[in-house]
Every structure is written in structure tokens, then in C-alpha cells.
């Protein structure tokens, strides 16, 4: 069973989702306000968290901000339908993915499984090829860690996967469609800026540690490319 924390103040919805997710192999713990979510995560570990934006005491953004101080558990945020700003803010703060409410439970499960696949799939590679590197950027595939100039780069699960894909294809353009399918496990839809926000977050974290702002460039109309380090 996959341990999942469901954080939403709509108790009827929580009950419905608990019944559905339980049949899909998830062990559900529920929290109905922001403080309760923080108290639970401080004492117990989960494999994935579903976090609603609109919560009593602390809203979802505040919970996510505090959560990221001590926990790197992947988070899927539930946002109000049509609230694009909420989705972008959640991703910028470290959410791995989002889903508008009301959501289809089958799509919710698909998103959760895509997140878990990214984290749990072991790379089928030889021991002496367990890392990807270009210049001073080194990615360890075995422990999913990143270093730049020997400094640890703190990334979310989705950010790590995006950076790994770009680094493996260094010098080549990867389309947003391909990045979305490979990194997030779903098709790119109109007005979906998830990949743009993840790449922006990666850029900020890398440049803060001394990387060139042109390490990852946007090729208008084509996608993103991680530039090849010069010798």
C-alpha cells in the first residue's frame, strides 16, 4: 500500500476520495486544515501528498512553504478550476503537479502514479554509468541528487526529472510536449505552464549557485535546451 496524506477541508470529498483511492492501492490519512497537515507530516512519513489550496488556519501555499523546510515528499495540489495563478504559484513553491477541482478520480490516480513512477523507477544502467554530467553539473541517478560546482542543488522530484532529461540531451532541443510526457507522465494541454515553471525554478536554483543564466535556454516555438559546457 502507498501511504498518502489527503489534505482538504471538504470532508465529504475526502470520504469519497478515500473510498476510491483505497481500492487503487493507497493507504489514506486525512487532514482537514493546514495546521493538522503540518502536525501529521512532522510525525509521520508519506510517499505522496494531495494538498488543497483553500484550507482553514493555513492555506495550501503556506502549508507547502513550511513543508518544504523539512520534507521533500512529492505534492499534488488541488486548485480551483480556472485559477491559473494558483497553479503557477504552487509549482513555483515546490509542488510536483496540480489538478483543478472538481477532479476526475481516475485522472487523480493517473497523476499520482506518474509522480510515484518518477521517484521509484530505478534506472536500468550499469553501475559505472549511474550519473549524468556536463561541465560542473553532476546528476546522480542512484540517489537522485544534483551538484553544481560541488554544491548540492535542492530540487523537487519533478524538477530533478526535468533536469535529468535536459542533461541527457545536452546540446539538443527537447520540446515542451516531450518534456511534459517524459517528466510529468501526461500530455501537454493548452495553457499548461507546468514545464515552464519547473524549468524556471531549476534555472533560479542553478544560477544562485553560479551557473550561467544561459545554461538552459528557451528556443522559441521549439522547446528547451541545456547548453553543452565548453572545455
Which triple of cell numbers denotes residue 98?
Answer: 496540480
Q: Quote the pLDDT of residue 126.
A: 32
Q: Are residues 106 and 161 in the same domain?
A: no
Q: Are residues 115 and 149 in the same domain?
A: no
Q: Quote the pLDDT of residue 84.
A: 76
Q: Determine the Cα angle at 225 with ends 210 and 196, to 5°.
A: 85
Neighbours of 23 (CB within 10 A): 10
Q: Which of 87, 104, 120 marks a domain boundary?
A: 120
Provide CB contacts within 8 A for 179, sequence distance 6+.
162, 165, 166, 195, 223, 224
Distance CA 50, CA 192 (A): 19
Q: Determine the Cα angle at 130 with ends 128 and 135, to 5°.
A: 100
Domain that holds residue 18: 2-120
Q: Digits of tens for pLDDT over the chain (231 positions)?
A: 899 999 999 999 999 999 999 999 999 999 999 999 999 999 999 999 999 999 999 999 999 999 988 888 999 999 876 677 788 888 888 899 999 888 889 999 999 998 888 776 543 333 335 788 888 888 998 888 899 989 999 998 889 999 999 998 888 899 999 999 998 888 888 888 899 999 999 999 999 999 988 899 998 888 999 987 554
- Are 62 and 34 within 8 A, CB to CB? yes
- Chain Cα centroid distance, residue 145: 15
Domain count, the chain: 2
Q: Are residues 145 and 106 in the same domain?
A: no
Residue 141 within a domain: yes
Residue 112 within a domain: yes
Q: Quote the pLDDT of residue 21.
A: 94
Q: Are residues 219 and 183 in the same domain?
A: yes
Q: Quote the pLDDT of residue 129.
A: 58
Q: Quote the pLDDT of residue 125.
A: 32
Q: Which of 102, 120, 138 marks a domain boundary?
A: 120
Secondary structure of the chain in HEC code, one letter for each residue: CEEEEEECCCHHHHHHHHHHHHHCCEEEEEECCHHHHHHHHHHCCCCEEEEECCCCCCCHHHHHHHHCCCCCCCEEEEEECCCHHHHHHHHHCCCCEEEEECCCHHHHHHHHHHHHHHHHCCCCCCHHHCEEEECCEEEECCCCEEEECCEEECCCHHHHHHHHHHHHCCCCCECHHHHHHHHHCCCCCCCCCHHHHHHHHHHHHHHCCCCCCCCEEEECCCEEEECCCCC
Amino acid at each position: 500500500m502507498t501511504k498518502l496524506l489527503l489534505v482538504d477541508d471538504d470532508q465529504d470529498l475526502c470520504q469519497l476520495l478515500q473510498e476510491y483511492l483505497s481500492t487503487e492501492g493507497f493507504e489514506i490519512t486525512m487532514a482537514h486544515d493546514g495546521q493538522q497537515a503540518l502536525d501529521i507530516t512532522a510525525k509521520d512519513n508519506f510517499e505522496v501528498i494531495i494538498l488543497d489550496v483553500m484550507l482553514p488556519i493555513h492555506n495550501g501555499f503556506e502549508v507547502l512553504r513550511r513543508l518544504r523546510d523539512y520534507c521533500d515528499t512529492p505534492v499534488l495540489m488541488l486548485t480551483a478550476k480556472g485559477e491559473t495563478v494558483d497553479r503557477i504559484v504552487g509549482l513555483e513553491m515546490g509542488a510536483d503537479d496540480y489538478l483543478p477541482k472538481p477532479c476526475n478520480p481516475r485522472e487523480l490516480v493517473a497523476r499520482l502514479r506518474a509522480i510515484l513512477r518518477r521517484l521509484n523507477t530505478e534506472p536500468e544502467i550499469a553501475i559505472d554509468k549511474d550519473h549524468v554530467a556536463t561541465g560542473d553539473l553532476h546528476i546522480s541517478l542512484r540517489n537522485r541528487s544534483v551538484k553544481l560546482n560541488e554544491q548540492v542543488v535542492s530540487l523537487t522530484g519533478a524538477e530533478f526529472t526535468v533536469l535529468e532529461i535536459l542533461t541527457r540531451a545536452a546540446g539538443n532541443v527537447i520540446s515542451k510536449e516531450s518534456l511534459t510526457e517524459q517528466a510529468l507522465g501526461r500530455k501537454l494541454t493548452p495553457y499548461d505552464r507546468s514545464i515552464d515553471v519547473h524549468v524556471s525554478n531549476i534555472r533560479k536554483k542553478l544560477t544562485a549557485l553560479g551557473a550561467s543564466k544561459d545554461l538552459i535556454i528557451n528556443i522559441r516555438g521549439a522547446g528547451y535546451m541545456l547548453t553543452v559546457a565548453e572545455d
